[in-house]
Amino acid sequence: MTTTATGRPTVVVLGAGFAGLSAVRELQGVDADVLLVDKNAYNQFQPLLFQVATGGLNPGDVTYSLRSFTGGRRRVRFKQATVTGVDAAAKVLRTESGDDIAYDYLIVSSGITANYFGIPGAEDHTLTMYTRAGAIEVRDRLLTAFERAAERGGEAPCVVVVGGGATGTEMAGAIAELRSTYVAKNYPELDPTAVRVVLVEMLDVVLGPFEDPLRQYAAKALRDRGVELRLGAAVAEVREDTVVLKGGEELPSVLTVWASGVSAPRSLKDWGFPQGRGGRLQTDADLRVQGSDHVFAVGDVGVVDGAALPQLAQPAIQTGKHAAANVKRLVQGQATAPFAYSDKGTMAIVGRLAAVADIKWPFAGKFTGAIGWLMWMGLHIALLHSWRNRIATLVNLTTHYVTASGGRNVIAGEPKDVPQHGREDSDGAEASRDPQLERQGGHA
């Protein structure tokens, strides 16, 4: 069974998100060599990427070196590589560089990417926030849109967020607060009340998985911040400078953020594993991919025994830990155990002193407003992977939310042209957009 000169089996963990890091932690002490593989040299804390996209946090606040993570762990190594496929029969991962990676046990925690549902133009003309690069590009385009509007005589831009789940709600609220603080203070050429933030959601409510009182609170909090809600509205087409809704309404947009749905990376279809809803890998109750005794799928990329778990940190952490525990059992010649999810609750933030929290463990309760906001702040800071990240995030979020002065030091990267609805550049050519830096979340 062994693949190394040590005489120990090799366990490869593919992907360094919540699930992957949880698996590596649980594998401490197992009589095996553990290899963590990711295309990036860092972990990115996805729940706070919207703060990077709106200047509340720096990219370094939400990233953590994977070399630092593995460096102090016995028999654990890290390899930066882009995996292109798997040969399950030979127990080998294929990589972009051609350097194959052999394994005895494989834990796939490669995350998810956006689902565009076949909507024309959605993939080409929207940005997502599943990666650090994606969040930085959203920030750069947003700030560049404000600069271009100021240069062109104060014509206020419109930003459209598609999707009313937690990601879309948090993003729309953060942009609205950026407009009301940073733009209001630093752009005298612009009327901040004329800067539009529109949230489009196909359901009649935002935050669909939450109970109705929490949904209603979130919708009111968004409206109080000036977010225009288009509920019960479906997107028919996305153009470079316009979002077209079914029914014909056209929303001008200098930036369209896609937060409407997720699916497994497209490359998984070539791996030969059974796939379920959204292209995610079908697993048995013990998290082993169906038909594969030595391959586990955890986090967002797995569908457990036919049912997809919520795409949150806790399910990822729990499945990663459980898969690793089952690998331990197999190494020791024991039978695997079925996975049982413990729902600890969900949270979403709308803005300063406004959040919703449905807590189920260690106590039960539903909270809104400042209490929910403090719970959200505390949990997300606690989940960060290092004290450096926690302290930097605490300082920056406290400065951002508590002072609410608009004086934060928001800096965009290289200037990028942004779509100008109904306008042309001085040379008569329509303003164009650069290609997205990176669309796909996770590893694969």
Whole-angstrom Cα distance, residue 124 to residue 109?
27
- For residue 312, give the nearest of 285, 356, 345 by alpha carbon: 345
- For residue 383, give the nearest of 312, 323, 278, 286 by alpha carbon: 312
User: Among 26, 137, 170, 177, which one carries the catalytic annotation?
Assistant: 170
Whole-angstrom Cα distance, residue 23 to residue 35?
11
Whole-angstrom Cα distance, residue 177 to residue 170?
11
CA 353 from centre of chain: 23
Whole-angstrom Cα distance, residue 159 to residue 161?
7
**Domain 10-39+81-112+264-331, classified CATH 3.50.50.60, yes or no:** yes
CA 258 from centre of chain: 11
CB atoms near residue 312 (< 10 Å) = 19
Q: Is 24 exposed, middle or buried, given 0-12, 13-18 or 19+ CB atoms closer than 10 A?
A: buried
Tokens of 265: 């990376």
Per the CB < 8 A criterion, the answer to whether 16 and 36 are in contact is: yes
Tokens 């996770």 sit at which residue? 442
Identity (one letter) of the amino acid at 241? D
End-to-end CA distance of the chain, in Å? 26
151 catalytically annotated: no
Tens of each residue's pLDDT in the chain, 444 residues = 545 667 899 999 999 999 999 999 999 889 999 999 999 999 999 999 999 999 999 999 999 999 999 998 999 999 999 999 999 999 999 999 999 999 999 999 998 889 999 999 999 999 998 899 999 999 999 999 999 999 887 678 999 999 999 999 999 999 999 999 999 999 999 999 999 999 999 999 999 999 999 999 999 999 999 999 999 999 999 999 999 999 999 999 999 999 998 888 888 888 999 998 888 999 999 999 999 999 999 999 999 987 878 888 999 999 999 999 999 999 999 999 999 999 999 999 999 999 999 999 888 999 999 999 999 999 999 999 999 999 999 999 988 887 765 556 676 666 556 665 544 333 333 333 333 333 333 333
Tokens of 431: 């303003």
C-alpha distances in Å from residue 372, one per residue of 73, 203, 281, 343: 36, 24, 34, 18
Q: What is the DSSP letter of 109?
A: -
pLDDT value of position 434: 35
pLDDT value of position 7: 85
CA quadruple 209, 211, 216, 221: dihedral, nearest 10: -60
What residues have CB less than 8 Å from 388, skipping those under 6 apart? none
Which H or E run contains 325? helix 313-331
Q: Which residues partner with 83 through β-bridges?
A: 95
pLDDT value of position 156: 83
CA 242 from centre of chain: 24
Whole-angstrom Cα distance, residue 349 to residue 259?
15
